Amino acid sequence: MIRANLGIVEIFGPTLQGEGQVIGRKTLFIRFAGCDYACLWCDSAFTWKPGQIAPVEHLRPHEVLHRLLQLDPQCRDVTLSGGNPALYDLTELVEQLGAHGYRLHVETQGSRAPAWLGRVDSVTISPKPPSSGMDTDWALLQQTVAVSACPDLKVVVFDEADYDYARDLRVRFPNLPFALQVGNRVGDDDTAALLQKLDWLAQRALSDPTMQNVRILPQLHVLLWGNRRGV
């Protein structure tokens, strides 16, 4: 786990959280550099992919706090995303932001289970389906769920194989809040295509008894503003 200065690609907002259990909420974003996955359809490859990675700032927790206060001194929701923020030891950052009244929401794929995930307000865990090209380590995923505060699961679905993966995940974790999110191929899918996929996914889940009490989600920020950074 990375314990040096925090490698951060961008701090931005306030904007609307576009995914997970706090979708639609006003939030500030901290996007960390680096990922232990290399998903084929990653929509934030600028955080990790050689040749595409954006400039990285190395900041201390108090410097991150200062940036957040500069962006909006009133907003107290912060999303920690990436890449994979669970690659870092964020204990000190979590402590400092918590002491200043921030509500912290984490987005991670469930491949790392640092103890600090239990000290935030919510953790959206998004294990990657077959279309990503990644394999799920089920033991590590279980560890991540076990240590996380208020965990929920989210699966990005592009096709039937992804949907089958999501169904298997739902059976494994029947009591966790669960969301299906429509897949978004950056550069290929426009708003019309995404809405068509969302309709397919909704109809698929509505007819499936396994998917009781599951939320069907778009990427809200993409529908509003496209695949731009910093929104």
Distance CA 123, CA 114 (A): 12
Report the residue count for the chain: 231
Q: At residue 67, what are phi and psi to the nearest 5 degrees?
A: -65, -40
Beginning with the edge strand found earlier in the chain, give each strand of the sheet holding 103-108 in spatial order: 57-59, 6-16, 26-32, 77-81, 103-108, 122-125, 151-157, 178-182, 215-217
Q: Which has the closest alpha carbon to 124: 11, 219, 196, 58?
A: 219
Q: What is the pLDDT of residue 184?
A: 78
Single-letter residue type at 118: G
Q: What is the pLDDT of residue 33?
A: 96
Q: What is the pLDDT of residue 226?
A: 65
Distance CA 17, CA 166 (A): 22
Query: What tens-digit pLDDT sequence spans the chain (231 residues)?
Result: 655 589 999 999 999 887 877 888 899 999 999 999 999 999 899 999 988 899 999 999 999 999 999 999 999 999 999 999 999 999 999 999 999 999 999 999 999 999 999 999 999 999 999 999 999 999 999 999 999 999 999 999 999 999 999 999 999 999 999 999 998 777 666 788 888 889 999 999 999 999 999 999 877 777 766 665 555
Domain limits, the chain = 6-225
Distance CA 195, CA 124 (A): 23
Q: Would you say 16 and 24 are in contact if contact means Cβ atoms under 8 Å apart?
A: yes
CATH code linked to domain 6-225: 3.20.20.70
Distance CA 82, CA 10 (A): 9
Q: Which has the closest alpha carbon to 7: 112, 84, 118, 121?
A: 84
Q: Would you say 202 and 218 are in contact if contact means Cβ atoms under 8 Å apart?
A: no
Q: Give just the sign of the alpha carbon dihedral 180, 221, 114, 122.
A: negative
Q: Give just the sign of the alpha carbon dihedral 130, 134, 137, 140.
A: negative
Q: What is the pLDDT of residue 192?
A: 84
Q: Please give the model's pTM, rounded to 2 decimal places.
A: 0.92
